Amino acid sequence: MSRQPVLVPREIFRAYDIRGLALGADALLTPDLAIRVALAYAGLIDSAAQVVVGGDQRPTTPALQQAAIAGLLDAGLDVVDIGRAPSPLVYWATALLTQERPTAGLVVTASHNQPEDNGIKLLHTDAMPLLPEQIQVVADRVASGVSTGDRQGDRRLWSPRPAYVRSLAESFRVQRPLQVAIDPGNGVATVTARTALQAIGCEVVAINDDPEEPNPPHTADPQHAENVRELAKFVRESGADLGFAFDGDGDRLGLVDGRGRRATPDQVLALLAQDWLSTHPGASVQIDVKTSQAVIDHINGLGGHAKFGPVGHSLGKFAMRDTGIDFGGEASTHYYYRIDDPPHITDDAVRTACRIAELASRTPIEPLLDVVPRYRISPEVKISCPDDRKHAVSAAITEHARSRWPVNEIDGARINLSSAAAGGWCIIRASNTTPYLTIVAEARTDAGYEAVRRISADILAEQRLDPAPLLSQPPLD
């Protein structure tokens, strides 16, 4: 049986996943669309015999998850339904099962988006995400009509959590008693975070760990300081040794040290890189184009090699695979590892929390964070630019900038402005998911930061973009 062509809401087929409004009369991601996506996806992963399916805690997830399962079964694929699960648990289960039988993966989640949204992440049989162009192929197939398979697949229930937690307990162990505070943001990391940290020997205290909470006090997005303030206060009041904040689907991590200070994503990357290089001397560390020059200098000063990769978890993972790099991170609080058992590249926030807890049990992390140099850097500033124009504008900026300064073009234009200010640079790139250009500016001093910010604003103005959001933005503390 075939499903007829439909009008596809292209705007929800994004660079890294499918994500959009899923609740109410104006919903774009509906159970009917989820069935069609699953059928189209099944045709793209024809080497797979089965698919692991999990989902987050959102109110629309159960219906979308069951619809996706129905589509996969209709396509003739077997389904391993693991129920409520963080994205990295789906990755892990996919990699584990594919050792015996080619297994792909599907996650219903919108991560840190507003509660009314939802999404679908799609994986190959090596637990690698679909690339942006492959997600567009799925959209094309949905638009042209999709057909069911010659057989009906089988569905079974399975919980990979016990085996997953055991694997973390075999990899990490705290060396002294350690009290850890966690804030899953009422997201799906509640499924694994507490249990895993306890399994490696931590005492765990938690806030915002009820996935059924209808009104979370803050967004589950540790990239932004305001979402970690409650955890920092809790760490100070509870006397915990450190605190971990998780994003909505458990693949990004924020850190609070024992003094109740939020570590910036760049500081966390530097901390993890320092630990990695202590056991992998001279290794390359993948960073993204928004990474602070201070972190680059720190990694290189430790004998490592900071290597730029593209922004985004799918592109970042493929860059690591293609270059053979085993560890990396980016400013959005994704931290990546290539692991051997089961073999895959993962951005698992719970794994990263276990690694940091083990490190903190060996040596206080506060001095390790304090030695990371701090330059004057802006937050990620968004400048409105329509989706149909943003990539052309970004290309024009790149072309114009390269005539005046050295430019790294791996993902947008990271412009080296060290001739104007010590340690100075800016990145101007088109967002892959929203109608914006994103800008980060940095220099070693306040005066240098002002110079870099002014140059960046002039570049934007040359493209008839309003630089006011950047000009009004002081550097981060």
| Length of the chain (residues) | 477
Q: Are 212 and 311 in contact (CB under 8 A)?
A: no
Distance CA 358, CA 352 (A): 10
Q: Residue 376: phi, psi to the nearest 5?
A: -90, 110
Pairing state of beta strands 253-256 and 262-263? antiparallel
Instruction: Output the 3-class SS for the chain.
Output: CEECCCCCCHHHECCCCEEEECCCCCCCCCHHHHHHHHHHHHHHCCCCCEEEEEECCCCCHHHHHHHHHHHHHHCCCEEEEEEECCHHHHHHHHHHHCCCCCEEEEEECCCCCCCCEEEEEEECCCCCECCHHHHHHHHHHHHHCEECCCCCCCEEECCCHHHHHHHHHHHCCCCCCCEEEEECCCCHHHHCHHHHHHHCCCEEEECCCCCCCCCCCCCCCCCCHHHCHHHHHHHHHHCCCEEEEECCCCCCEEEECCCCCEECHHHHHHHHHHHHHHHCCCCEEEEECCCCHHHHHHHHHCCCEEEEECCCHHHHHHHHHHHCCCEEECCCCCEEEEEECCEEEECCHHHHHHHHHHHHHHCCHHHHHHCCCCCEECCCEEEECCHHHHHHHHHHHHHHHHCCCCEECCCCEEEECCCCCCCCEEEEEECCCCCEEEEEEEECCHHHHHHHHHHHHHHHHHCCCCCHHHHCCCCCC
Amino acid at 460: L
For the annotated catalytic residues, the residue numbers are: 111
Q: Residue 436: phi, psi to the nearest 5?
A: -145, 155
Distance CA 247, CA 409 (A): 29
Report the candidate in 56, 153, 179 with the shortest Cα–Cα distance to residue 113. Answer: 56
